Amino acid sequence: MGFEPTTSQVKAMYPLVPIPPTQNLGIALFSYDGGLYWGFNADWESFPHVHEFVEDLEAAFKEYKGLAATRTAHSSTTEKRRSSLS
């Protein structure tokens, strides 16, 4: 009996970064299968509002993705116009 591979696939993976005594927050990012996974580790005594920080970061990242998508769409439209003028 040996190792038998299966068709199972990892759905998500959330990283964890240790925090040394001189810091109160650790943030780790992990890219896998087209997704970006965030891991947060905080010292609750010195950073009690870490949930609010994570929510704010999530909102900012969502806004950034929207701006990037808009810019990409604009670039594609501009390229199509340039191609049709050639």
Mean pLDDT by runs of 10 across the 86 residues of the chain is 74 88 93 88 94 95 90 66 59
37 found inside a domain: yes
In a domain, 45, yes or no: yes
Domain span at residue 37 reads 25-85
- 3 in a domain, yes or no? no
| Amino acid, single-letter form, for residue 38 | W
Please state, as a whole number, how many other Cβ atoms lie within 10 Å of the Cβ of residue 38: 14
* Structural domains in the chain (count): 1
At 78, list the tokens.
Answer: 């501009």
Nearest to 38 by CA among 20, 53, 24: 53
pLDDT value at residue 42: 95
Look at residue 12 in the predicted model and tell me its pLDDT: 82
What pLDDT score does 46 carry? 94
Is 51 contained in some domain? yes
Predicted pLDDT at 80: 60
